[in-house]
Amino acid sequence: MKKIGYKIAITFIVSLLFTSCAAFTDNSYHVSSPDGMLKFEVYTSQGQLYYKVNDGETEVFQESKLGLKFKNHSPLGEKLEVISSSNQSNNTTWEQPWGEKRLIEDRYEELLLELQETNGDNKKLNLRVRVYNDGFGFRYEVPEQAGISELIITDEITEFKLPTVDKAWWTAIYSEEYYEAITQFTPVNEMDTVCLPLTIETQSGKYLAIHEANLTNYAAMNLYCADSSTLSCDLTPWSTGEKVFTNVPFVSPWRMVIVADKPGDLITSYLELNLNEPCKIEDTSWIETGKYIGIWWGMHNGTYTWHMGEKHGATTKNTKMYIDFAAKHNFKGVLVEGWNYGWGNDWTKEGDKFQFTTPYPDFDIEYLSDYALKKGVRLIGHHETGGATQNYEQQMEEAFAMYNKLGIRSVKTGYVGSRLNGKERHSSQYGIRHFRKVIECAAKYQISIDNHEPAMPSGLRRTYPNLLSQEGVRGQEYNAWSPDGGNKPEHLTIIPFTRGLAGPIDFTPGIFNFENPVNPGTRVQTTIAKQLALYVVIYSPVQMAADLIENYEGNPALKFIEDVPVNWDITKVLDAKIGDFITVVRKDRDSNEWYLGSITDENSRFITVDLDFLDKDTNYRAEIYRDGDDASWESNPTAIKIETSTVTKTDQLMFRLATSGGVAVRFVPIMD
């Protein structure tokens, strides 16, 4: 896998300006984005803390409450007055060690309000607000103070009051344990209690994404519609009902909202990353990104089993074949699931018996890891915990040390099971603490993580770039066994604007075979060209070519997967309509090549692409992988046309995307 250079933090201009904030009215304070368009106003009224947000003339949020409720103290937010305020500005740029864009601008205006209760309790609360050109974030900070050392949070009073009953794309938090539901699109007052990010199309023509950033030692935030258009915070509880146990001082995660004029601008906002802490890993050169294949799809579609037996997938023989294939076709990783003890016939009930250092006898891990390294490939480790976190925490240090010794650099973790440790939700404070422990422990052994059944990502990858990718989505695997037949054609035109806003998705694209005799009635509901386009449309620093290697053998479409990078210098969304289509272009970080991916829902459509994103004065060979003229996901998914043409930035390309089809293009500069 590709080595990432030493992280260089580049700071162009840092301007910190401390001033006293001018009061808007007597008890109202405001802070605006650097371009002056987005205005955040915060004030108290009869002691209750509120905020409002405007984008130019457009109201984004009307009077919305702020505050916290405790089990062991009176609420904080209802009887407050402002003691002091200060402002500062920031204009810096930092470099991602890997990512969808190399340089990230971090430019905001900040307001810090210090508040204190006016009743006898005199508790103190600070509110920190940062307003960017593309959105805003705020967080609660409970400073050190006499008389309070521990707090038990039972609720956050945080609200987001929309001016109108807008429509949102949502998935319910409590019916699906790890965010694997089909996205709904309804007016907000018809929503369940939903997980974040919540993407909203407003009647004023804006696109909003409400999310949180830097979720540390806290419970995940969810939202429900309290009245027709007020969204209220719901924190995932512990099994005992409390939400968060914390010591004082503490800061909450950032509550953030991207405010965009078009759907594509949601995707190219880096607000979530900017609201996380800078990288804590000094030398990131051991973190490897790249493409991988694996013994995986075969278990999902019934060709293999995870447990040992006649159809065992993770055998030394199979793995060797996969390593050979990887070496030949430019894949740097081979994932092998089902290599260790603990996979019973119904392994989801046997999670507490997983052993993370004991391979099955037909899997020679030492021989295979060595064989792989000699071929320039690495095994990717796998730790399915079945949700048995205690069992995992007891073994993980030893397991990471073993992998490190074998030259394994990344591990896919998994938490199938409705509760962690038999009782706690994945997105509870318990889950958040566990996932953080794993990332930190893995970093000690120079191991990177691709986490399945996670808590919703909140940008932690900035602080710990060894957290490469996560699931937290209805992924490709549903197309192998889901009783409803699999993901519908529009699914992939929605998730870049919902789950995708939280961070890299390990969706596992690249299925070339559309027959599934073991589970008839299920299938991948796309064309092959759409599968290729996903490598550009869905961002992840680790991308799987998920099919069985025999389904790739001899297929010229594999060339695109071999060529496409995972690390980008620039990302642009050229055009999109959520749930209908999306066209993305990205420039490779290590060459001057550009890549395009465009996908559509169940409707066939024509797209016209202006190539003005290409570099000037350059001729490119466009290697085009488009739907065949008679392609359609239902009747002819494998029809693909591969052709080349010479183009420059003044050209336009026009494509017909088949039903649930797509197009993938590699633009290679032609050297004279």
Which residue number, 228 or 348, has a Cβ lying nearer to ligand NOJ? Answer: 348
Q: Among residues 41, 471, 547, 593, which is the contact residue for ligand NOJ, using CB under 6 A?
A: 471
Is it true that the peptide bond before 489 is cis, omega within 30 degrees of 0?
Answer: no
CB of 23 to ligand NOJ, least distance (A): 52
Which residue number, 234 or 477, has a Cβ lying nearer to ligand NOJ? Answer: 477
Which residue number, 270 or 322, has a Cβ lying nearer to ligand NOJ? Answer: 322
User: Which residues of 497-651 form beta strands (DSSP E)?
Assistant: 542-544, 568-577, 581-588, 594-600, 605-610, 620-627, 640-647
**Contacts (Cβ under 8 Å, ≥6 apart) of 649:** 611, 612, 613, 614, 615, 616, 618
Which residue number, 281 or 416, has a Cβ lying nearer to ligand NOJ? Answer: 416
The interaxial angle of helices 389-405 and 429-444, nearest 10 deg, is 20
Which residue number, 125 or 473, has a Cβ lying nearer to ligand NOJ? Answer: 473
**Which residue shows structure tokens 């992840």?**
540
Residue 521 CB neighbour total at 10 angstroms: 11
β-bridge partners, 161: 62, 230
Q: Residue type at 101?
A: K
Beta pairing, strands 103-117 & 333-336:
unpaired
**Contacts (Cβ under 8 Å, ≥6 apart) of 230:** 64, 159, 160, 161, 162
CB of 354 to ligand NOJ, least distance (A): 10
Which residue number, 279 or 335, has a Cβ lying nearer to ligand NOJ? Answer: 335
Site residue total, ligand NOJ (CB under 6 A): 8
Element (H, E) at 394: helix 389-405
**In the numeric block, which tokens belong to residue 652?**
């336009």
User: How far apart are the two ends of the chain, measured CA to CA in Å?
Assistant: 31
Determine, following the binding rule CB under 6 A, whether residue 465 of this chain makes contact with ligand NOJ. no
**Contacts (Cβ under 8 Å, ≥6 apart) of 520:** none
Give just the sign of the alpha carbon dihedral 466, 472, 475, 481: positive
Which residue number, 414 or 661, has a Cβ lying nearer to ligand NOJ? Answer: 414
CB of 385 to ligand NOJ, least distance (A): 9
Q: Residue type at 166?
A: D
Choose among 647, 585, 604, 656: nearest CA to 622: 647
In this structure, what is the dihedral angle of CA atoms 477, 417, 354, 216, given to the nearest 10 degrees?
A: 100
Which residue number, 138 or 363, has a Cβ lying nearer to ligand NOJ? Answer: 363
Can you tell me whether residue 247 is helix, strand or coil?
Answer: strand
Size of the chain in residues? 672
Determine, following the binding rule CB under 6 A, whether residue 414 of this chain makes contact with ligand NOJ. yes
Catalytic residue chosen out of the listed positions 212, 424, 477, 623 = 477
Determine, following the binding rule CB under 6 A, whether residue 296 of this chain makes contact with ligand NOJ. yes
In the region spanning residues 322 to 361, those forming contacts with ligand NOJ, defined by CB under 6 A, are 337
Q: Among residues 182, 416, 441, 668, which is the contact residue for ligand NOJ, using CB under 6 A?
A: 416
In this structure, what is the dihedral angle of CA atoms 666, 451, 300, 394, given to the nearest 10 degrees?
A: 150
The interaxial angle of helices 365-374 and 316-328, nearest 10 deg, is 10
Q: Among residues 79, 211, 409, 452, which is the contact residue for ligand NOJ, using CB under 6 A?
A: 452
CB 337 within 8 A of CB 296: yes
CB of 116 to ligand NOJ, least distance (A): 48
CB of 299 to ligand NOJ, least distance (A): 6
Active site residue 553: no
CB of 548 to ligand NOJ, least distance (A): 14
In the region spanning residues 354 to 393, those forming contacts with ligand NOJ, defined by CB under 6 A, are 384
CB of 339 to ligand NOJ, least distance (A): 11
DSSP string, 270-328: -HHHHTSPPP--S--TT-EEEEEEEE-HHHHTTSSBSSSSTTBS--HHHHHHHHHHHHH
The backbone region for 309, taken as left when phi is positive above 0, alpha when psi lies in -120 to 50, beta otherwise, is left
In the region spanning residues 472 to 491, those forming contacts with ligand NOJ, defined by CB under 6 A, are 477
CB of 311 to ligand NOJ, least distance (A): 15
Which residue number, 414 or 459, has a Cβ lying nearer to ligand NOJ? Answer: 414
CB of 436 to ligand NOJ, least distance (A): 20
Write the DSSP symbol of residue 145.
Answer: B
Residue 533 CB neighbour total at 10 angstroms: 34
As annotated, the active-site residues are 477
| Interface positions with ligand NOJ (CB under 6 A) | 296, 337, 384, 414, 416, 452, 471, 477
